[in-house]
Amino acid sequence: MLCWTLLPHLLVAASGPGMEAAPSPVSLHGALRVERGRIVGKFGNPVSLAGPSLFWSQWMPQFYNRDCVRWIATDWKAGVVRAAVAVEPDGYLVDPERERAKAEAVIEAAVESGLYVIVDWHDHRAHLHTEQAVGFFQAIARKYGDKPNVIYEIYNEPMRVGWPEIKAYSERVIAAIRAIDPDNIIVVGTPNWSQDVDAAAGDPLKGTNLAYALHFYAGTHKAWLRDKADRALAAGLALMVTEWGATNANGDGPIDHSSTREWLDWMRKNRMIWCNWSIADKREGSAMLRPGANPRGGWTEADLTESGRFVRGLIREWGF
Ligand code: MG
């Protein structure tokens, strides 16, 4: 005879791997779209998601696998994961098939796990590689454009290039994607390492389901960058924090807890979708794994860095 007090344990057991699945982010929210400057789900509700970004694909290829993404879904309870598809050096420009295969491994794992996946053209000079970006995104759109999971991020962090050039590049890449996939969200980079969202707000792109990237590193970027973002939001731009770090802008240094807390409050208030930099076992402050951590997940506390333990906690708290 079952005792009532045992039932919660049985319910927990019944939601374990291979048993009755908990709702996934994508099963809850479906295809995302941009409506009046906000990112909403299939019921028109604002959608806010949290998750990690993988590191540059040419330097940390080992984490671009199904088990790693599945671990991020089940143990980190993420809503989103970002594949940082390296373009240069030694990335897509020299071996497009190899880099696209990494993106596809992450996309397929995300689809299987019910995660949203940001497919990031991780380039600082994408306007010089327009035709390569078109080829890449058309291939991804052809294969996965019907999946609600996919979010295209077409220009990671423009450097030393103004909004008019970024805009011209974006128009070309967006047209190429839209010829195949009419609806999945496309995120556009903004000048100065995806900080000058106000520049884009002054002369936005035309089209549907477009959002703009806002990147910050809490140790370096403070209230002045939130002021820019507030101006862009007030102008009606949809923003997505496709990359942020709790450290300095070079990815290193200590966690800036007080600045991170201010940014998290801002992201909560504005219902951002965010990815934290990064899943890597490099020796730097923002890397979330200790050197030699298993590329296929299953990480214990001891496998995580201080940043890894902190950000995993934030992602689990955030929900989806
Ligand atoms: Mg679509």
Render pLDDT for 221-236 as a digit per residue (tens, 0 to 9): 999 999 999 999 999 9
Rounded distance between C-alpha atoms, residue 155 and residue 122, angstroms:
7
What's at 27, amino acid-wise? S
Which positions are annotated as active-site residues? 157, 243
CA of 71 to the centre of ligand 1 (A): 26
List the domains of the chain with CATH numbers.
28-318 (3.20.20.80)
Per-residue pLDDT tens digits for 131-146:
999 999 999 999 999 9
Beta bridge partners of 116: 80
CA of 184 to the centre of ligand 1 (A): 5
- 206 within 8 A of 170, measured Cβ to Cβ: no
CA of 305 to the centre of ligand 1 (A): 37
Nearest to 152 by CA among 214, 63, 83: 83
Nearest to 29 by CA among 313, 273, 311: 273
| Residue 176 CB partners (closer than 8 Å, separation 6+) | 134, 137, 138
CA of 139 to the centre of ligand 1 (A): 13
- Residue 21 is classified by DSSP as P
**Which position has the token pair 């507030």?**
230
Tens-binned pLDDT, residue by residue, of the chain (320 aa) = 344 344 443 444 444 455 566 899 999 999 999 999 999 999 999 999 999 999 999 999 999 999 999 999 999 999 999 999 999 999 999 999 999 999 999 999 999 999 999 999 999 999 999 999 999 999 999 999 999 999 999 999 999 999 999 999 999 999 999 999 999 999 999 999 999 999 999 999 999 999 999 999 999 999 999 999 999 999 999 999 999 999 999 999 999 999 999 999 999 999 999 999 999 999 999 999 999 999 999 999 999 999 999 999 999 999 99
| Residue 302 CB partners (closer than 8 Å, separation 6+) | 290
Its pTM stands at: 0.93
Rounded distance between C-alpha atoms, residue 314 and residue 227, angstroms:
24
